[in-house]
Structure 1
């Protein structure tokens, strides 16, 4: 792919990063590396230029210029639909749900689902998030002085949250079964190919991808049963996500979701809400262990606000430094490290010609580490988010932007702040020597090898 080598300047220790491409690769090498880590196909020059273009079987462009990104995601959204990579990987599980649908079919679903994630509804779910955080503290304390894999802990904790806010009161809900089914599906669907990223058609074989129907059937059967049981039982005392979806209707047409549409969107919220928040928290835990000064400041804030009690929705605004840590973790390790679009029309972005059929990527990982946009871009500095108005809106896109911005962003941020504040108020976390995680993106950007930390009660 790229052919420019950039010298690496001597610098103080930095948190782990993906080694980006600094030499030309052929198609075979690119395919091999993309199978191991999708982000490894990003050229190093993407962190020093506003746009990089090339041809690997077909024309592609990587866009890091905020103005050009705005044009793609906001001004000319319909000219840049999601590419085949997203649809090929996720459609078997979540159908034509909100996450995948385009055009009018997407718009009516978005209008129907938007009230589910209103500030009022999200705030009402804070006690569930706090309770899951408390259970995580109990498990960490019970583990004693030995090292704990905080990646596994955060996966368990966020799944507890999404299960409780989705299936509250579901006595027959098989938590372990659906959790295992989701993990199996992500592991299988995540066998991404460079062909997916570049938008090759479906009939081009993807080497090594085996899609098991068992995990999909288990996920869908659990969701179908939950919808049927809830429709028969009626609404919970505090409406959860399923209650709100069942009650939802498009304010323009009055259309409601069919059982299949409800199921697909429910699974979208479960898979996305569980995986991405867990990764955000795992990377946040790695970073606060990496920088003890940051951790001390965050702990002082959390203890001052919480004072030994469970966190509530009203506390989130009083935890600005904890939020800055989450924001910085999302900048350095965005769960969706690269997103891909297909150009439908001839266009110009950043002064460069875009042709119909070109693959146009936003490498969010490189955008967050652009030396043109961020001072000391690879360093962990939460305070850079102290004044969010000073940051270009399209230079920081962990949740996307424009009309298709992640519908659950406020839910995820509230959950992450509550859980992180709870953990830091109870424990001092330190890294385990020789166990640094490796950032590897298959379907999402995961800390390969886990986040191994010791926890000391404070």
Structure 2
């Protein structure tokens, strides 16, 4: 057995246009050159001029100092806009800023903590499902997707019948699975008005999903206010303090659908990888379990426990380092610039290959090893060397929500079960839009 956990096979030779396209449609991580973990920057031309940046100072320059000069790439927007419209994930400039200001209070520490009981309840339900399947092997990826979707559906729409959460989930999954694959038209920089066939095919499912969300929002407007607010209530009440602008139904819907997609799949992936890693290293798993049992006893974890579970948090952080949900993010340069001493021209695609950044030999000791202890002193880690949620003004608005949810669910599971690997069933890191464990995360789960 390899003494390192599973990792993607990076390209040892430069890829041409067709090889890049094939890799991009099957596993985006395979377009990353192996030298990306050894150098601060790699450049090339595959139809379009492109650069990959792995230098923390250059990344800070892009994400913080020159944010408006490096908007999200056209390929990213072409992939996601049909599903999430002009939500804050896609919007740029003033349009992004007012939405971000209006939504920021939704994810305040107080509001995120108030949603924790839903996370605890979902973790307990997950334990019951796993227990009912034991001693058979369990696909923890499926369980994590179900659990985090239960959380996001409940915190978004309070589980009310007006919103068919499963239909939305199915439609988005279908869209991403096919339409999310990069088209050769994106790779060669073809104009947006040329149709991308996969995205046309799933357009009706996405439109149905949007109309379902619109109906739920309109139904909520007619209902009296409640004592306990969910994400939709908070977003509807949100107002940009500078312009006093609130979101209309379409803006609410696009942002809610963004939260539903991003807010459950990315956390499910992080938890799936964390459980795989705990099974991979029983010593880490036992240390985490001892912490959980000391803090939580035989109870499920709650919001009050999160800050007292630092080692569980370190496992989550290390899982996010080794398998970042967004393994590659791309930007389009709008102006002339210099990064790592290289010329960047307007129109160039500038990628931050987070998967390679997190395994950089210059930035991390034993970068392919699983070592949660490396996060025992976060101040020792360069802020722009570790980007599971991005950084700068566009850092993921739901990061604190995701971390709280992941710690509560992982701690609750480790408190109840001992997870062991199944020979020959190791997952493979595959990225289409996110870094998924191909084949699932199949583990034995035995009651402690």
Give the shorter-chain TM-score range: over 0.9
Q: How does 1:27-426 map to 2 (within 5 A)?
A: 27-193=17-183, 196=186, 200-203=190-193, 211-426=201-416
What stretches of structure 2 of length at least 5 have no aligned partner? none
Q: 1:40 to 1:277 in 2, by over 3 A?
A: same
* 1:448 maps to 2:428: no
CA distance in 2 between counterparts of 1:393 and 1:275 reads 24
Q: Is the 8 A contact 2:152 2:264 kept in 1?
A: yes
Structure 1 segments, 4+ long, off by >4 Å, are 197-200, 203-210
After superposition, what is the alpha-carbon deviation per residue over 1:216-255, rounded to whole angstroms, capped at 9, x for unaligned? 1232122112211111113332101000011111101111
Q: Classify the secondary structure of the residue corresponding to 1:318.
A: coil
Conserved 8 A contact 1:438-1:448:
yes
Paired residue secondary structure (1:25): coil
Distance 1:198 1:371 in 2: 32
In 1: Cα distance, 2:301 partner to 2:155 partner: 17
Q: How many Å apart are 1:31 and its aligned residue?
A: 1.4
| 1:427–1:449 CA distance, 2 compared to 1 (3 A) | same
After superposition, the C-alpha distances for 1:266-314 in whole angstroms (9 at most, x for unaligned) are 1111111011111111111111111111000111111111112232212
The answer to whether the Cα contact below 8 Å between 1:52 and 1:62 also exists between their aligned partners in 2 is yes
Aligned equivalents of 2:440, 2:2: Cα separation in 1: 24
Asked whether the 8 Å contact 1:149–1:452 carries over to 2, the reply is yes
How far did residue 194 of structure 1 move? 6.0
Please give the alpha-carbon distance, in whole angstroms, between the structure 1 residues aligned to 2:49 and 2:60.
21
Partners of 2:197 and 2:431 in 1: CA distance: 18
Q: Distance in 1 between matches of 2:256 and 2:212?
A: 11
Instruction: Provide the secondary structure at the position in 1 that maps to 2:147.
Output: helix
Deviation at 1:188, TM superposition (A): 2.4
Aligned match of 1:6? none
Comparing 222-231 with 35-44, greater Cα deviation is found at 222-231
> What is the TM-score with the length of structure 1 in the denominator?
0.95
Residue 27 of structure 1, CA deviation: 1.4
Residue 186 of structure 1, CA deviation: 2.1
Q: Which moved more, 1:63-72 or 1:235-244?
A: 235-244
Q: Distance in 2 between matches of 1:376 and 1:277?
A: 25
Cα RMSD of the aligned pairs, angstroms, is: 1.5
